[in-house]
Amino acid sequence: MFALSGNAYTGQKTLKEPTSTLVEVGSPSSDDTPLALRNDQHILEDSKTSTIEPSLTGSDVVPDPLLEDLERVMADITLKDEPADKEVDRATLLVQASLFKQEAEFQRVMVYRDRGWNHNKDKGDTFFKAQRENADKADDEGEQRFYKMMIKIAHDLDSTTEALHPPVLAGRNIKVMDICMAPGGYSAAVLQMHPGAEIFGLTLPKNEGGHSMVLPINKLRGIKYADVTMLASEMLKGTDKTVPKSYPDSAKFNPLRPFVSHKMDLVFLDGIVLRTHERASYRQQNEPLRLSTAQLVLGMQRLTQGGTLVMLMHKVDSWASVNVIYTFSKFATLHLFKPKSAHATRSSFYLVARNVDVESPLAAAAVAEWKNKWYNATFGGPVGTGGDVPEPEDTVVLGILRTFGERLIQMGIPLWKIQADALAKSVYAGDVPSAPGRKKESQSEV
Ligand SMILES: C[S@@+](CC[C@H](N)C(=O)[O-])C[C@H]1O[C@@H](n2cnc3c(N)ncnc32)[C@H](O)[C@@H]1O
């Protein structure tokens, strides 16, 4: 039973279950098991209507030991790392069960998230409400602070991962595309490191709710103000699809293909869905997926062979993140990075993909898949304004956990440690009650 009492999981490794690796949990041949399971189920269903005596019984169905194991863990976990009323998709629950079973740092994060979202809900709500209000009314001073924070994050990112020094340069000036650029801290850091850098930016116009630029635009080779999720020509390139005429906002799609004649050594995808971005009601639910897939498609279609891509992501333990990280692992060298100096209490982190083999069939397949997802999230569903995000089969999730789970844990540990340590000191999830004079978390983070 994984129910927690006191601080059982907030300290050292205290797993009561054996800390077997995922590879050990499934037998070497069990990769084939899910298929056998599906086939057997199919035969059993057919047998209901058959006049022939069924030759199989439920006890003949070969269960997948990994699935059984994770379902047990899922049933035992009493922690909720989201608000109680938020539904978590099954694929994420499977991923989390697997991490929870194996890794104490992940358990610590879950305990603190549960405290913040559920046990200390009132404190957490008050804290985040104030933080949201601050972010939404960000004035010039706020933008300046945010800009400086982003410059610092970029330097930390580079000193840990060399993200701002792509290996492809060979002495020439670096070319950078900064997608979701404002206020421009990342590009400012690039210019500090590479004074001759040619930088091309794209960012949401301020009159649509985007951030203002602080980096002077005369330092750039080019800048476009546009909503990246509406670049239909970019998203539909190479497909046989078009924007359906029935779509209520079809005139808002943008035929622009920004900086299409350039190949970039480094692309930043740093978009985050903003509350200040006014959108039709049908563009609420799927917007995070529309934004991430749009950035991925545009970024990959501009990146040079062997270049570097940096992407802001959320929750390394969510299926959405695992899927993207795993996809990049097939054609790039990966690092995950979480700054300690900002957003430490949050689940956000950066994926740094270096030596990206954009010309490989695996990369092409990934881009095609992201285009499909963008299309479905935009035009799918019964009324054509965005369908539900399809859930993967359990077998797909288990397959990735088997082959990639160990690596995911190794990459995730430093991130969970930073977040758990920061949450331990927070007023809403921390170990110590807040006391007068104790440093409060910054409320100026956006
Ligand atoms: C975290 S900030 C980026 C900070 C930036 N990387 C820096 O270093 O200063 C997120 C940015 O995404 C932009 N953004 C959000 N939604 C967007 C969209 N649909 N299209 C283009 N930009 C968008 C916001 O306006 C904001 O500038």
- Give me the average pLDDT of each 10-residue run along the chain (446 residues): 36 33 27 28 32 51 91 92 86 97 96 84 74 72 94 98 92 95 98 97 96 97 98 97 91 95 98 92 93 98 98 97 98 97 94 98 98 97 92 97 98 97 89 46 35
Which residue's CA is the closest to the ligand 1 atom numbered 18? 227
pLDDT value at residue 259: 98
Query: How far, in Å, CA of 329 to CA of 320, rounded?
Result: 15
* Interval between CA 68 and ligand 1 midpoint (Å): 42
Residue 348 CB–ligand 1 contact under 6 Å? no
Query: How far, in Å, CA of 229 to CA of 243, rounded?
Result: 13
pLDDT value at residue 13: 34
Cβ partners under 8 Å of residue 441, min gap 6? 127, 345, 426, 427
Task: Identify the three-state secondary structure at position 198.
Answer: strand
430 closest CA partner among 122, 113, 130: 113
Query: How far, in Å, CA of 128 to CA of 142, rounded?
Result: 17
Are the beta carbons of 281 and 347 closer than 8 angstroms? no
* Interval between CA 277 and ligand 1 midpoint (Å): 11
Which atom belonging to ligand 1 lies closest to the Cα atom of 446? 1
Residue 124 CB–ligand 1 contact under 6 Å? no
pLDDT value at residue 169: 82
Tokens of 375: 């299309």
Cβ partners under 8 Å of residue 354, min gap 6? 161, 162, 163, 166, 167, 308, 332, 333, 334, 335
Backbone CA torsion sign across 146, 152, 154, 160? negative
Pocket perturbation via mutation, ligand 1, pick of 270, 283, 298 by most ligand atoms within 8 A of CB:
270
Cβ partners under 8 Å of residue 279, min gap 6? 287
Residue 314 CB–ligand 1 contact under 6 Å? no
Backbone CA torsion sign across 116, 118, 121, 125? positive
Find residue 199's DSSP bridge partners. Answer: 176
pLDDT in tens, 13-57: 333 333 332 222 222 233 322 222 223 333 223 333 333 444 555
Sheet architecture: strand order including 348-354: 222-225, 198-203, 175-179, 264-269, 303-314, 348-354, 333-337
Residue 201 CB–ligand 1 contact under 6 Å? no
pLDDT value at residue 147: 97
* Interval between CA 434 and ligand 1 midpoint (Å): 33
Which atom belonging to ligand 1 lies closest to the Cα atom of 291? 19
* Interval between CA 208 and ligand 1 midpoint (Å): 12
Tokens of 220: 């750039």
Find residue 350's DSSP bridge partners. Answer: 312, 337
273 closest CA partner among 251, 260, 290, 256: 290
Are the beta carbons of 173 and 197 closer than 8 angstroms? yes
Which residue's CA is the closest to the ligand 1 atom numbered 25? 210
Query: How far, in Å, CA of 84 to CA of 441, rounded?
Result: 24
Cβ partners under 8 Å of residue 437, min gap 6? none
- The 8-class DSSP code of residue 250 comes to G
Are the beta carbons of 212 and 182 closer than 8 angstroms? yes
Query: How far, in Å, CA of 17 to CA of 19, rounded?
Result: 6
* Interval between CA 1 and ligand 1 midpoint (Å): 43
* Interval between CA 16 and ligand 1 midpoint (Å): 44
Query: How far, in Å, CA of 106 to CA of 187, rounded?
Result: 33
Residue 272 CB–ligand 1 contact under 6 Å? yes
Q: CB 431: neighbour CB atoms within 10 A? A: 12
Cβ partners under 8 Å of residue 181, min gap 6? 187, 201, 202, 203, 213, 215, 223, 268, 270
Buried b (16+ CB within 10 A) or exposed e, 390-414: eebebbebbbbbbebbeebbebbbb
Q: pTM, whole model, 2 decimals?
A: 0.84
Residue 386 CB–ligand 1 contact under 6 Å? no
Tokens of 306: 């062997």
Tokens of 436: 């007068």
Query: How far, in Å, CA of 305 to CA of 302, rounded?
Result: 10
pLDDT value at residue 34: 28
Are the beta carbons of 298 and 228 closer than 8 angstroms? yes
pLDDT value at residue 136: 65
Helix extents (H) in 208-348: 232-236, 287-302, 319-329
